[in-house]
Amino acid sequence: MSYTLIITEKPDASRKIAEALADSRPKVIEKNGVNYYEFTVNGKNHICVPAVGHLFVLNPKNSDTKEWSYPVFDLDWIPTYTRRGTEWTRKYFKNIQELAKNASEFVDAADFDNEGEVLLYNILRFICGVEDAKRMKFSTLTKEELIESYKNMDNHINFRMVESGLTRHFLDGLYGFNLTRALTLALKDVNPKGFTILSTGRVQAPTLALLLEREYEIRKFKPTPFWELQLYVKMNGTEVIAKYEKDKLWDKNEADKILHACKGRDAIVKDIKKKQYKQPPPVPFNTTDLQTEAYNQFKFSPTQTMSIAESLYQMGAISYPRSASQKLPPTINYEKILRALATFPHYKEFVEELLKKEKLVPKEGTRTDPAHPAVYATWEVPDVKKLTPQQKKIYDLIVRRTLSTFGDEALRESMNVILDVNGYKFIVVGKRTIKPGWTKIYEPYITTEELILPDLKIGQIIKVLKLEELAKETQPPGRYSQGSIIKEMEARNLGTRATRSEILQTLYDRKYIVGKSISVTKLGEVVINALKKYCPKILSEELTRKFEEEMDLVFNGKKKREEIIEEAKETLTDILKEFKKNEKKIGEKLLEGLQEARKEERRLGICPKCGSELRIIRSKRTGLFFVGCSGYPKCNKVYPLPRMAKIQAVGKACEKCNTPIIQVIRKGKRPFRMCLEPNCPTKVEWK
């Protein structure tokens, strides 16, 4: 039997496509532990089979760590299952391999972006033995869109996406393999007994350098003292705070003088200024906006957000979550989406209000994406009972954002009341909402400041309850959060919407950065400083941006992939020559950083008995880990540690026993926090 073979990027997509296209219920076939689907479309035989992400990865021809050298420019595509830890992908590979033998034609149904197109192109040429296929293009996995996508298939895959995607893979591979080998071998030369892989990459290095730059700004910051004056007054029974007209007073003598002059005096209403202003609805989410908002609201990491969003996309509940667009075209059928969302009681009221409009027009941003619209909730509403708590949060966020874009402007009013106290001006700022508009829909995710002031008259005397002088200091710049660094990477054109979260996660995995409020570790600092001193070109944002722009030229057919890869090889050759000259010095710096990083990992906090440092120690006798005091032998304080777990300091002490609190991480289990003292009152119920 011959058939059309449709190949998807993931298993859920295969199921959704089969169910959408089949003349009748598709037949589920299980082979090698993986499901694929047999069905007919208008009587013609079809099989839909899934991959599971990339089934091929780039690898240097000489990848044995014992024989590593650099530069290495000879890269090959190899099956992913040949890599340690990814053997499970073999079953997907085998199914496609077997099914390809009897296929009369092939259909590419991967996600429609550069990564999806490279993924499928490699499957077609290396497994199926063909260089082209028909192409289904869709932004949601809803039944209607999949049927339309099938009916209007392109006759060819998108070779512009293929070329641009292949260029990125080779650039990232060339940089990643060469720089990782260079760093690792430099360290090995000065520490032959140990073998620690240190990695960096084309986008990793500039991103880490950017984070370190902020780290240094914080360290170098010197606070400047200033003073604030606050006046507590009662207005028609409402107690409010009025602030002196200058936010900051840099001279304490001036602050004291005003304080003395105003003490015991009443305030007089000198002026009242009212102003109405409109707040337009938000634009729909693109990938970066979604990652940033999910971090701000739920503290979900960008990687976690994309994983959750991907699961909602696979079930058809939202559109494709990797998009640069802030636009919602009319073709997505606004009214149909809104009516479907109205089946949820908590959205019904909002939808009914929106459908009263003469015309549904979403508020849109400026960013576009040739492949996909913005991220939106579809008309295929999920069974909320089957969603995880995390999925519910991201789904509600996307639904409310989708609905909000169709909302009316909010109308707000500010009221500035200027008070005169013995010739000195203090200001009270009142704010109120006149018409909530879209803010009523998005209310769980916005903070609206409301201070409704009573009706006042100029010349009215106001009773002063208290006058305070507050001593404060200027604060250092804030650390980047996981949300704000993704936004900053986008602004600087570092990485892509699909790769930024992965790059950030890699920096965590390599122990170059720690914390939700991101700090650069000693190891990360030493790696960047060594590169900055001896190979600054690796850290160049300009070079990274240049390659990003050239990949766009490849996509637009204005430059050849081979041209850019050759240019990258020349650049890398110069960088690595410079690196080789200074290999020993770089190795010494890296070893120093690695040793300090390992010390950092062992530090947990302060000993409550003597004030020395508590550290993780390994027993020479038993091989087990415990916590001991660095003040030993004068202080013999010790604490047991949970076994088979990774232990992390959190920088806090228990309020009950004053021992450091640690995070305990076990594979396959939810992390938890506890203090070190086994007999702490907080653990009474544990027993």
Q: Report the CATH number that the domain containing residue 553 is assigned in CATH.
A: 1.10.460.10
Residue 125, phi then psi, degrees to nearest 5: -80, -35
Instruction: Verify that 8 and 138 share a domain, yes or no.
Output: yes
Domain-located, residue 600: no
pLDDT digits (tens, 9 = 90+) for 626-661: 999 988 888 988 999 988 888 888 888 888 889 999
* 373 cis-preceded (ω within 30 degrees of 0): no
Which residue is listed with tokens 């305070």? Answer: 468
How far is it, in rounded angstroms, from Cα 186 to Cα 608? Answer: 41
Q: Specify which of 193-197, 438-442, 577-581 reaches the highest per-range mean pLDDT.
A: 438-442
More confident: 250 or 552: 250
User: In the listed set 545, 561, 595, which residue is the last one of a domain according to the structure?
Assistant: 595
User: Residue 600: is its pLDDT beyond 80?
Assistant: no
Domain tally for the chain?
5
Q: What is the dihedral of CA 74, 76, 82, 85, to 10 degrees?
A: 70
Among 84-88, 150-154, 251-255, 503-507, the least confident range: 84-88
| Res. 49 pLDDT band, cuts 50 70 90 | very high
| Res. 687 pLDDT band, cuts 50 70 90 | low
Instruction: Verify that 381 and 415 share a domain, yes or no.
Output: no
- Could you tell me the sign of the dihedral formed by the alpha carbons of 327, 329, 334, 340, in that order? negative
Instruction: Verify that 276 and 415 share a domain, yes or no.
Output: yes
536 with 139: CB under 8 angstroms?
no
Domain-located, residue 546: yes
Mean pLDDT calculated for residue range 127-141: 96
User: In the listed set 441, 473, 505, which residue is the last one of a domain according to the structure?
Assistant: 473
How far is it, in rounded angstroms, from Cα 368 to Cα 351? Answer: 26
Instruction: Verify that 316 and 381 share a domain, yes or no.
Output: yes
604 with 662: CB under 8 angstroms?
yes
Domain-located, residue 133: yes
User: Residue 441: is its pLDDT beyond 80?
Assistant: yes
Which helix (H) or strand (E) is 445 found in, with range? none
User: Residue 238: is its pLDDT beyond 70?
Assistant: yes
Per-residue confidence (pLDDT) for residue 642, from 0 to 100: 87
Nearest-CA neighbor of 328 among 294, 383, 291, 284? 284
Which residue is listed with tokens 């008309």? Answer: 379
Per-residue confidence (pLDDT) for residue 377, from 0 to 100: 97
Q: What is the CATH number of the domain that holds 256?
A: 2.70.20.10
Instruction: Verify that 148 and 12 share a domain, yes or no.
Output: yes
Nearest-CA neighbor of 512 among 497, 527, 531, 534? 527
| Amino acid at site 515 | G
| Amino acid at site 439 | T
pTM of the model: 0.86
Instruction: Verify that 69 and 114 share a domain, yes or no.
Output: yes
645 with 666: CB under 8 angstroms?
yes
Residue 411, phi then psi, degrees to nearest 5: -110, 120
Mean pLDDT calculated for residue range 456-483: 93
More confident: 34 or 602: 34
Domain-located, residue 601: no
Q: Specify which of 83-92, 404-413, 662-671 reaches the highest per-range mean pLDDT.
A: 404-413
Domain-located, residue 240: yes
Which residue is listed with tokens 């200001």? Answer: 427
| Res. 63 pLDDT band, cuts 50 70 90 | low
| Amino acid at site 603 | R
Instruction: Verify that 675 and 645 share a domain, yes or no.
Output: yes
| Res. 42 pLDDT band, cuts 50 70 90 | very high
User: Residue 65: is its pLDDT beyond 80?
Assistant: no
Q: What is the CATH number of the domain that holds 18?
A: 3.40.50.140
Per-residue confidence (pLDDT) for residue 505, from 0 to 100: 92
User: In the listed set 368, 386, 404, which residue is the last one of a domain according to the structure?
Assistant: 404
Q: What is the mean pLDDT of the chain?
A: 92
Nearest-CA neighbor of 148 among 160, 156, 140? 140
Both structure tokens of 288: 């970066």
Instruction: Verify that 144 and 19 share a domain, yes or no.
Output: yes
Residues spanned by the domain of 386:
287-404
Domain-located, residue 602: no
Q: Is 311 helix (H, G, I), strand (E, B) or coil?
A: helix
Instruction: Verify that 11 and 127 share a domain, yes or no.
Output: yes
Strands 103-109 and 134-135: parallel
Instruction: Verify that 25 and 153 share a domain, yes or no.
Output: yes
Count Cβ neighbours within 10 Å for each residue of 320-337 and write b for 16 or more, e otherwise.
bbbbbbbbbeeebbbeeb
Per-residue confidence (pLDDT) for residue 193, from 0 to 100: 75
Both structure tokens of 581: 């000259």
Domain-located, residue 508: yes
313 with 319: CB under 8 angstroms?
yes
Catalytic residue numbers read: 320
Per-residue confidence (pLDDT) for residue 534, from 0 to 100: 85
Domain-located, residue 106: yes
Q: What is the CATH number of the domain that holds 303?
A: 1.10.290.10
Mean pLDDT calculated for residue range 40-46: 96
User: Residue 28: is its pLDDT beyond 70?
Assistant: yes
Instruction: Verify that 465 and 531 share a domain, yes or no.
Output: no
| Res. 408 pLDDT band, cuts 50 70 90 | very high
613 with 606: CB under 8 angstroms?
yes
pLDDT digits (tens, 9 = 90+) for 282-313: 999 999 999 999 999 999 999 999 999 999 99
Instruction: Verify that 583 and 455 share a domain, yes or no.
Output: no
| Chain centroid to CA 679 | 39
- Distances, alpha carbon 133 to alpha carbons 99, 124, 356, in Å: 15, 8, 46
